[in-house]
Structure formats: structure tokens, C-alpha cells
A = this chain, B = another copy of it.
Amino acid sequence: MAAQKVARLISERSIGRLSLYRRLLNVLQGEGVRNIYSHQLAAMAGCTAAQVRRDLMAVGYSGSPTHGYEVPRLIESLREFLDAPGGQGVALVGVGNLGKAILSYFTGRRPNLQIAAAFDSDPYKVNRVIHGCRCYSMEHLAEVAEGQGIRLAIITVPAQAAQAVADALVQAGVRGILNFAPVRLRVPDHVHVEDIDMTVSLEKVAYFARQSAERGSRP
């Protein structure tokens, strides 16, 4: 059973969809749905049935052609595939407008992937508890991160501070960063960075909205 499969290469896109499927399945389970077909999941996720089946190949649980996928079993398989075994603590650095919103949102939501500690350089925020999360000074970053086994972090500091924060996080043993600062971070190869760039997303919306408007008016 320890025969871990030989590092199945899964695309980044697929992982995103698997996470999405899991959330949809959790909702379904709450509604008492026991079984589901790939085409139903596809309709909810906004992709094709073939894609759902292809993605699910990776998680190692096969559905039945007659009843589709058992919702609880599939959720469990996704959990095994996606989640770290013992849960994983997350640090949030930069308790400003965005950081506070994120804290409020993630507090007490997913059982694993909890935000375990917040950090800020502003002395007015240090040592306060914000949305149920203790805010530490930046000096204690390494200490707290190591003490709590934190390997993931969210960066919500101003752009000009982001690289320095990232360096400190990497130094403290962080392996994955969700970065909201509009800056391309330089990190070692073994650290994974995911950027969320709202400005770029908004400009994309603006561009394609204009595009489809023009197209729609002259088809």
C-alpha cells in the first residue's frame, strides 16, 4: 500500500478542477445526493463530461457505469489525493484591508488548510487577535512558522514589501505561497508560487466584454 504511484504528472489546471469538484460534491452531499454522473458534475463545474472523467482518473477511484460515482467515496478519494495527511497550517502576512477580509473568510472554514497565524510589521496590529487569528510581529515569523509546522503562506503586503516577505517565508521553510501582490516573486525552485492578480483579471474582463459587445452588435 505504500507503493505510492510513480508521481503521476497532473496539470495545474486539473488540480484546480479537482478542487472545484470536491467543493461541488460537498454541497451535493449536504443535499443528500448519494450518486452522481460525470455529465452532472461537468454541468456544475462548467466543463465537459469527458474532462471530468479524465481528471478523476488521477485520484484512483473508479465510478460504476451504472450508478456513476458514489459521492462520499469520491469526496474521500479527493481528500486523500489533494490534502496533506495531517492538515496543513497557513500563515498570512500583511493584515491590511485584503488580509483581514481573507482572514474572516477562511476562519473556521476548511478543517485542513487553516490560517494558523498572521504576521504584520505594524506594531498596532501585532499581538492582537483579528478574526480569531493571532497576529505576530515579523521577527517571530521563523519561530512561529517552525513551531506550528507551517509550510504555506498568503502574501497580502504592499508590492514593494512582497519580495522581502517572500524571502523571509522561504527562509522559514515555507514551500507554497499564494501571492496577491502585483509582483513576480523570485523564489527557489522547490517553492511553488500562485499569483492572484486582480488588476489583470479586471482588465481581461474589460477586454473580452468589449470584444463580445462588438461581436454581438455585428454578428
The interface of chain A, by Cβ under 8 A from chain B, is 7, 12, 15-16, 19-20, 23, 44-46, 82-84, 88, 90, 96-98, 100-102, 104-106, 109-110, 113, 151-152, 154, 175-178, 182, 184, 189-194, 196-213, 215-216
Contacts and interface: CB of A to CB of B under 8 A. Distances in A.
B15 A202 contact: no
Chain A interface helix/strand/loop/mixed: helix
A201 B196 contact: yes
Contacts of A206: 82-84, 88, 113, 152, 176
Given A19-B203, A176-B208, A206-B113, A97 B90 contact: no
Contacts of A184: 44-46
A63 B190 CA distance: 36
Contacts of A106: 202
Nearest to A188: B216
A209 B191 contact: yes
19 contacts: A15-B208, A16-B197, A16-B204, A19-B199, A19-B200, A19-B203, A20-B197, A20-B200, A82-B203, A82-B206, A96-B101, A97-B104, A151-B209, A151-B213, A152-B209, A175-B212, A176-B209, A189-B212, A196-B198
Nearest to A153: B205
Given A100-B101, A209-B191, A202 B154 contact: yes
B213 A23 contact: no
Contacts of A197: 16, 20
Contacts of A101: 96-98, 100-101
Contacts of A151: 209-210, 213
A104 B23 CA distance: 30
Nearest to A109: B199
From A23, A88, A207, residue with most partner B Cβ within 10 Å = A207
A105 to B, nearest CB: 7
Contacts of A96: 101
Instruction: Name the 6 nearest CB pairs between A and B, nearest first.
Output: A176-B209, A97-B101, A175-B209, A176-B205, A192-B208, A190-B216
